[in-house]
Chains A and B, each alone.
Chain A
């Protein structure tokens, strides 16, 4: 006897990216909400653990950017130990971080976003995905695989495991980089830089052909947040927080990451498990800000490598006073960062000191509090730990990149819905476009690290009385 087994996806989004749209009396969009079902209890789960374990535990939060959690956690641990890293350890951490940026950005652009851009937003979803890309433009899909493999190989070299690394520990790194592995990276990096430039040309071609769409699609004013270095360049690993408003006016500058609570507060909404951080001084929800590639490039004055900096100049010209609002420009910003990261990898491995064996500093100090902040591929990531005198975690606060973008993702869904629902009439194409808008942020919805099923988008439209009017599914 045969039996039909239907396998439901194992994800924390309950199998669906869910958007609800509420209409007003006239049938226009009153409100759009993007629902996220986060795993609950992670912060609680960490309590009682030794801070030493946290870089490995927190890397398990996410299968997509484990290196980011790993490093932010190790940085918080450095503060608890009260140590300053050796030059080699700091460079190795930067190296693994840049490798993560290259692979994550390449994956997003080549395999997730490029089908939207190459085939157009109205293309059939059955084609507008990686399978469609492989079928029609395999050479582009292959480049994505190559860039990813380069980044992943570095992560594996330094972290033993390909996905969940065991590279950084409070006080430094576990393993030094051997000269032959260094040479291997160096021998490949020019090719990788060229591929990043190829991707930039590709996205610029799209913008040239769709200038109006690029400028207007999910374009709205928000604040922008990111780390910058001492010269005001885009910074991913260390640096100070800078926050600008939609007009490009700097509202906060030179804020030490450990003082993040002086500028950020979080709000809880009963319809989403993901908190809503906002800029404290402007209040909720006006203090909405965006992080990630668009946020970082909007707040920075430049990039610290020549090729990326040249492209950065072109990017800045797109916006008023250097602030670019269109969500579709996330892709351009993301690729400029990939180029920046690839160039930074080259500089890091050209320096002999990166192969030094001096990679760890111990200390008998246990400070009661440690904050580690980095720029993850998707944006600013905060790890804040409180420990007892033996180093056991008393309390944890995490603000993740996708959380920082939560208000803006909701707003993007609203902006698109407003365009496509007028006077009660729902125009075709809304589903695809809401999806494309949310995808700009490269949201990391699911921190369960794998899924065995598919995760479509579902949009439910409600009338003013709260009755379901229409359900759209991809």
Chain B
């Protein structure tokens, strides 16, 4: 079974970089020929091209919630990650749910069967900076543990990350 761990985000847009940074950390820890760890700032069809061909997909991305629980981690199914986008002025930016829906229609056989999204509540995603806000930064080790647990690296992760 081939798994892709994909961190999405733009590292120069503050908290939006959370997925990108976590993927970079995970890449150091995960050494398994059946698991690829990638970071990307892509969306829509670019994203689709990255995920086609895997059996399982774990996405790590920044989200904004109405509750504004910054730093909180949400485990979502892709259909929970935003309603499918309809008409938009500049529909380059398809959301994850739509991207996956398109993938299932165009490349049904090649889409991952299992998709899990770890969303991290963020605060500052439209300011050009490489710094993330404190609460979002604090979430990094917890997200790493959760992803490792998801991949069966659980015990090891818990032992080393109790702090």
On A, residues with C-beta under 8 Å from B are 5-13, 17, 37, 39-42, 44-45, 57, 60, 63-64, 107, 111-112, 125-126, 128-131, 134-135, 138, 141-142, 145, 148-149, 152, 162-164, 432, 435, 438-439, 442-446, 448-457, 474
Contact = CB atoms under 8 A, between A and B. Distances in A.
Contacts of B83: 453-454
Interface in B21-58: 40-43, 45-47, 49-50
Given A10-B122, A163-B42, A455 B49 contact: no
Given A5-B66, A5-B80, A125-B86, 13 more contacts: A40-B127, A40-B128, A45-B129, A60-B10, A126-B86, A145-B106, A148-B45, A435-B87, A435-B89, A438-B89, A450-B9, A452-B96, A452-B119
Interface string B1-22: 0000000111111001000000
A450 B41 contact: yes
Contacts, number: 181
Interface stretch (B97-105, B133-141, B144-152, B153-161): B97-105
Contacts of A456: 86-88
B102 A63 contact: no
Question: DSSP class of A's interface residues: helix, strand, loop or mixed?
Answer: loop
A126 B84 CA distance: 10
Given A8-B66, A130-B102, A474-B86, A63 B43 contact: yes
Contacts of A6: 65-66
B65 A7 contact: yes
A9 B10 contact: no
A425 B122 CA distance: 43
B106 A134 contact: yes
A135 B2 CA distance: 29
A468 B43 CA distance: 35
Nearest to A454: B85
A107 B93 CA distance: 12
B88 A63 contact: no
B91 A112 contact: yes
A129 B87 contact: yes
A454 B90 contact: no
A159 to B, nearest CB: 13
A45 B128 contact: yes
B89 A17 contact: yes
Contact of B11 (A41, A42, A60, A134): A60
Contacts of A42: 128
B126 A12 contact: yes
